[in-house]
Amino acid sequence: MEYEGKDLLLRKFDLWSALSEEEYKELQVLENTREFSRDEFIYFEAFHHNQIYFIKKGYIRIGHLDENGNRIIHDILQPGDFFGQLSLDRNDLNGEFAQCIKSGVSLCSFTVEHFYQLLNRKPQLAIRYSKLAGLRMKRFENRILNILQKDIRTRLILFLAQLLRESKYRKRISEITVSIPNYLTHEEIAQLIGSSRQTVTTQLNLMKESGIFLYSRKEMRYTDIKTKFEWPMPD
């Protein structure tokens, strides 16, 4: 029973859902699973790194350190996402780090060679992986375009809408209100939308005053979706 419970944490995500029971058992998920604590680094300033990771539980920040030692955030990942040596050809990661945001992070990892062999044996898995990698790249490209073309308020609204749309832990409070867990600081949001912490704080306060969004340390609450702003209401 313990195996089945932990096994399903990964099985429920898109990349693995099409595999048969026997094919999935070949992954040896438990044997390749590790648990991490709050702020622990999975890798730090990696260059040549021979692992690819799949998030079963928890949140991961991806970034690098600038020349002054400041942490620059590139992306925030959640359950179902993957990271590490994504190209599978052992290119360097240009000094990238991966760090847990909160405690209780659970990751399943494979060496590049092991995962490449798996994709060769399972064509349907290779197709799904390619599609998901493409969507990941498209999401990053859209964020860059937004930074170049849109004002800060619009960038923030689009980013918050993306968080709601992609969250695996949405909770409907009422017919017009939905919440998701908050795992981001104002500084991290600012870096991800190309703004400053002060500006993000100001914009979030304005949203609070207008009644469309509430931000706290524990949750982000999207309020009055139908009447004041067209947040993408989840099913």
Rg from Cα positions in the chain: 19
Using 70 as the pLDDT threshold, list the residues of the chain that sit under it: 1-12, 18-19, 23-24, 27-30, 48, 87-92, 225-235
71/137 same-domain check: yes
Contact 55, 82 (CB under 8 A): yes
Mark whether 139 and 173 lie in a shared domain: no
Domain-ending residue, one of 120, 145, 170: 145
Same domain, 129 and 176: no
- Give me the domain span that covers residue 167: 151-228
pLDDT of residue 8: 47
What is the C-alpha separation between 98 and 54, in angstroms, rounded? 12
Same domain for 164 and 103? no
Query: Do residue 76 and residue 101 come from a single domain?
Result: yes
pLDDT in tens, 179-190: 999 989 999 999
Q: Give pLDDT tens digits for 208-229.
A: 998 889 999 899 999 876 655 5
Same domain? 117 vs 159? no
Q: What are φ and ψ of residue 124, in 5° steps? A: -65, -30
In this structure, is residue 234 part of a structural domain? no
Instruction: State the CATH number of the domain containing residue 48.
Output: 2.60.120.10
The reply to whether 40 and 124 lie within a common domain is yes
pLDDT for 11 equals 58
pLDDT for res 3 = 39
Domain count, the chain: 2
Task: Quote the tokens at residue 31.
Answer: 């044997």
d(CA 89, CA 77): 22
Give the domain-ending residue among 127, 145, 163.
145
* Distance, CA of 118 to CA of 191 (rounded, Å): 36
Whether residue 32 lies inside any domain: the answer is: yes
What's the CA gap between 141 and 124, in Å, rounded?
Answer: 26
Question: Is the domain of 82 the same as that of 108?
Answer: yes
Asked if the structure places residue 91 within a domain, the reply is: yes
CA distance 21 to 26: 9
CA distance 10 to 54: 8
